[in-house]
Amino acid sequence: MTDFLTADRKPNFQVGEVILIDKPTDWTSFDVVNFIRSLIKRFYGIGKLKVGHAGTLDPLATGLLILCTGKQTKQIDNYQGMDKIYEGTMQLGITTPTYDLESKPDAHFFVDTITPERIEQVRKQFIGVIEQIPPIYSAIKIDGKRAFDYARKKEDVKLTPRPIRINEFTVDTTNFPELSFYVNCSKGTYIRSLVHDFGKALQNGACMTSLRRTQIGDFLIENAWKIEDLKKLIIDSSKQLET
């Protein structure tokens, strides 16, 4: 397996490539897939092309996104199953329906009684295999519909807990009541839910304010490309085919 962006060779998108991308904020993961697919089809003259991603990032999140093209799309499940690393921030004292800043606060709490010692006690509760309920504002399917479709229509729906694994979870209280965090976790972990549950365990509230995925398995964000740089590379490499 070779990432064509770090290899001195011409890419073959139909045979299959693995592309590491640094997803920008306000883009959905499918926005990235559709954008890259359109670029490749246009500049390489390809009629049909399979392109998929290995693990969704929320629109407000940034960081590592693995894209697969052609026959490499058969490996997507393998990449999705890899452990992931995230860095982010949360704000204590507020909650939102989406557990992040995509929605407005629906509750406020006083944070005066929360101490660093209490935060450390609660943090330890989230290490290891735990049960987690995904956010209602998520793409999980329930009876053929996405959970967020029910949520947006204010329809009642029950999501069941599922086991996840938190390998490492650290919290920095330097800028309290905003906390910085680092999470190393298994597939299927919703960091928004982790933040929300952390606030509840403090008998308070917490909302995720930023999130960046920095690693998937052995794939590192340092080796990922910005969207504009990727666009330029695809255009430039397609011109080499004409010479």
Active site residue 149: no
Q: Give the tokens for residue 146.
A: 């996405």
- Out of 22, 58, 100, 197, the active site residue is 58
C-alpha distance from residue 151 to each of 9, 75, 146, 186 (Å): 47, 32, 9, 26
| Cβ contact 92:199 at 8 Å | yes
How many residues are given for the chain?
Answer: 243
CA 172 to chain centre: 21
Question: What's the angle, vertex CA 18, arms to CA 167 and CA 77, rounded to 5?
Answer: 50
| Cβ contact 83:186 at 8 Å | yes
Nearest to 189 by CA among 142, 139, 132, 137: 132
Nearest to 114 by CA among 130, 91, 133: 91
Question: What's the angle, vertex CA 11, arms to CA 8 and CA 13, rounded to 5?
Answer: 160
- The residues that are catalytic are 58
